Amino acid sequence: MRITYQDKKRGIIELMPETLDDLWHLSHIIEEGDVLSSKTTRRIQDTTGDKLRSDRGIKKTFYLGIRVEIINFHMYTGQLRTTGIIVKGPEDLIPLGSHHTLEIKLNVSIRIKKNKWSKWTLKRLKQAIESSKKLSAIILVLEDDVADMGLIRQYGVEYYGPIVGNISGKRIVEKDRRKNVINFYEKIVEALKKFKEVQNLLIAGPGFVKSDFYSYLKEKYPEIAKNSILESTGTGGRVGISEILKKGTIEKMTSENRVAGEMRSVNKVLEKIAKSSPKVVYGKKMVINAVNAGAAEELLILDKMVRQENMEKTMDIVENMKGKVTMVSSEHEGGKQLEALGGMAALLRYGIN
Instruction: Kindly report, residue by residue over 218-254, the tens digit of the pLDDT.
Output: 999 999 998 899 999 999 999 999 888 888 777 677 6
64: three-class secondary structure by DSSP:
strand
Q: What amino acid occupies position 247? A: K
Helical pair 119-133 and 309-320, crossing angle rounded to 10 deg: 70
Separation CA 306–CA 295 (nearest Å): 20
**pLDDT of 317 over the 70 cut:** yes
E-strand stretches of the chain: 2-7, 12-16, 35-44, 58-74, 79-88, 99-104, 110-113, 135-143, 146-153, 156-164, 201-205, 228-232, 280-282, 296-302, 324-328, 344-348
Separation CA 337–CA 265 (nearest Å): 11
Q: How does DSSP assign 73-140, residue by residue?
A: EETTTTEEEEEEEEEES-TTTS-TTSEEEEEE-TTS-EEEE-S---HHHHHHHHHHHHHHHSEEEEEE
Mean pLDDT of 337-342: 94
SS3 content of the chain, % helix, strand, coil (to 5): 35, 30, 30
CATH (residue range 135-247): 3.30.420.60
Q: What is the pLDDT of residues 145-202, one digit of tens each?
A: 899 998 876 545 778 889 998 776 555 566 677 888 999 999 999 999 888 766 689 9
Higher local confidence (pLDDT), 250 or 122:
122
Q: Which fold has domain 2-118?
A: SH3 type barrels. (2.30.30)
CB-CB contact of 68 with 35 (8 Å): yes
**pLDDT of 41 over the 80 cut:** no
Which residues of the chain form CATH 3.30.420.60? 135-247
Check residue 300 and give its pLDDT.
96
232: three-class secondary structure by DSSP:
strand
CB-CB contact of 200 with 139 (8 Å): no
**pLDDT of 70 over the 90 cut:** yes
Check residue 311 and give its pLDDT.
86
Kind of pairing, strands 110-113 and 12-16? Answer: antiparallel
Domain 260-348 has CATH 3.30.1330.30: yes
Burial 67-78 (b: 16+ CB within 10 A, else e): bbeebebeeeee
Residue length of the chain: 353
Strands laid side by side in the 156-164 sheet: 156-164, 146-153, 135-143, 201-205, 228-232
Mean pLDDT of 50-79: 75
Mean pLDDT of 247-273: 80
Q: How many CB atoms lie within 10 A of CB 130?
A: 10
Read off the pTM. Answer: 0.58
Max intra-chain CA distance, the chain: 86
Mean pLDDT of 39-63: 66
Among the listed residues 87, 57, 213, the one whose alpha carbon sits nearest the alpha carbon of residue 145:
213
Mean pLDDT of 117-143: 84
Among the listed residues 247, 260, 227, the one whose alpha carbon sits nearest the alpha carbon of residue 332:
260
Percent above pLDDT 70 for the chain? 87
Mean pLDDT of 7-36: 89
Choose the weakest-confidence range: 228-242, 246-260, 265-279, 282-296: 246-260
> What's the count of helices (H) and strands (E) in the chain, helices before strands?
10, 16
Mean pLDDT of 287-292: 95
Check residue 246 and give its pLDDT.
80
Higher local confidence (pLDDT), 58 or 283:
283
Beta-carbon contacts of 34 under 8 Å, excluding residues fewer than 6 positions away, are 67, 68, 112, 113, 114
Check residue 134 and give its pLDDT.
67
**pLDDT of 341 over the 70 cut:** yes
Which residues of the chain form CATH 3.30.1330.30? 260-348
Taking the CA atoms of residue 23, residue 243, residue 203 and residue 262 in that order, the dihedral angle to the nearest 10 degrees is 20
Separation CA 40–CA 36 (nearest Å): 11
Check residue 90 and give its pLDDT.
82
Which residues of the chain form CATH 2.30.30.870? 2-118
Check residue 242 and give its pLDDT.
86
Separation CA 231–CA 60 (nearest Å): 42
Q: How many CB atoms lie within 10 A of CB 313?
A: 11
Kindly tell me the sign of the dihedral angle through the C-alpha atoms of 88, 90, 95, 99: negative
